[in-house]
Amino acid sequence: MIFSLIIAKDDMTKKPSLFTCLTPEIVHLYDFSSKISVVTDILRASSTIVTALAYGASEIMPFANESDCKIKRNENFIIAGERNGVTIPEFEMGNSPFEYMSDKITGKKIALTTTNGTQAIEKSKGADEILIGALLNLKSTAQYLVTQNKDVIVVCAGWKGHFCLEDTLFAGALAEELIHLGFDIDEDSTLAALELWKNSKENLNKLMEKSSHFKRLNKLNIHEDAKHCLTKDLYKIVAGIRKNTIIVLN
């Protein structure tokens, strides 16, 4: 009886933890059961999704491949997506958040496929719940996670399996918010992400200019996209997946 009381007390006092899966290539190392997955692809899928929802898109259905995405045109979806940063031929929209800052998407359903982001969502399917996280809705996402009181795994979309700086910086930013709200950090990848964020948050561009993704985006002349995607707390929405589609949760 005493023993069971001690266990109950221990369960009650255990803080939730934040884990950071640095690339989708190592998701198999994580146990997603009873946890919330926060998928992030800062440049640009998750930032674009959050922007589109903030501008009134009713839902965004993610697809790992082009052909499945394209079929949704027949069901009144806007079809959208990129490969290697460029809009897919015959698709109506690409992956720039600025394309979605428009009345024409208000109330519309969007089918979206991207190079890395949608694959990261596919790989998170063992989780209790999947959110889409961006710096654009950082604080709202953190506040929602606290209400759920579950362990959280940030899944960084990366670039073709490789580690990406901007996704890791998001994980660090989320760690900073969640520590203030009572979460534990007991994994090195989260600790490293937090250190990177704390040491660069006052001048994100200085570090990001050296990153491989910035160099790729620079070649595509989309400086403004990157600037937008690195802005914190522009939108007060939480983006989550319900029945395979991304909607605003609050």
User: Which residues contribute to the site for its own copies (CB under 8 A)?
Assistant: 22-23, 25-26, 29, 159-165, 168, 185-189, 191-192, 195-196, 199-200, 207, 210-213, 215
Distance between CA atoms of residues 82 and 95, nearest Å: 6
CB of 51 to its own copies, least distance (A): 24
CB of 82 to its own copies, least distance (A): 20
CB of 14 to its own copies, least distance (A): 17
Distance between CA atoms of residues 19 and 127, nearest Å: 13
Structure token digits, residue 242: 């319900």
When the beta carbons of 110 and 229 are compared against its own copies, the nearer one is 229
When the beta carbons of 2 and 29 are compared against its own copies, the nearer one is 29
CB of 164 to its own copies, least distance (A): 6
CB of 130 to its own copies, least distance (A): 22
Residue 199 phi/psi, 5-degree rounding, is -85, -10
When the beta carbons of 57 and 208 are compared against its own copies, the nearer one is 208
Structure token digits, residue 228: 């937008």
When the beta carbons of 22 and 239 are compared against its own copies, the nearer one is 22
When the beta carbons of 11 and 188 are compared against its own copies, the nearer one is 188
CB of 223 to its own copies, least distance (A): 18
User: Strands (DSSP E) along 166-244, which ranges?
Assistant: 239-242
| Cα separation values, 33 from 10, 110, 143, 188, Å | 20, 29, 21, 21
Cis peptide bond N-terminal to 44, omega within 30:
yes
When the beta carbons of 210 and 243 are compared against its own copies, the nearer one is 210
Nearest to 63 by CA among 132, 119, 124: 119
When the beta carbons of 37 and 137 are compared against its own copies, the nearer one is 37
DSSP three-state, residue 25 = helix
CB of 121 to its own copies, least distance (A): 20
Nearest to 132 by CA among 193, 25, 195, 53: 53
Place of tokens 């045109």: 73
Alpha helices in 15-110 (DSSP H): 45-54, 66-71
DSSP three-state, residue 198 = helix
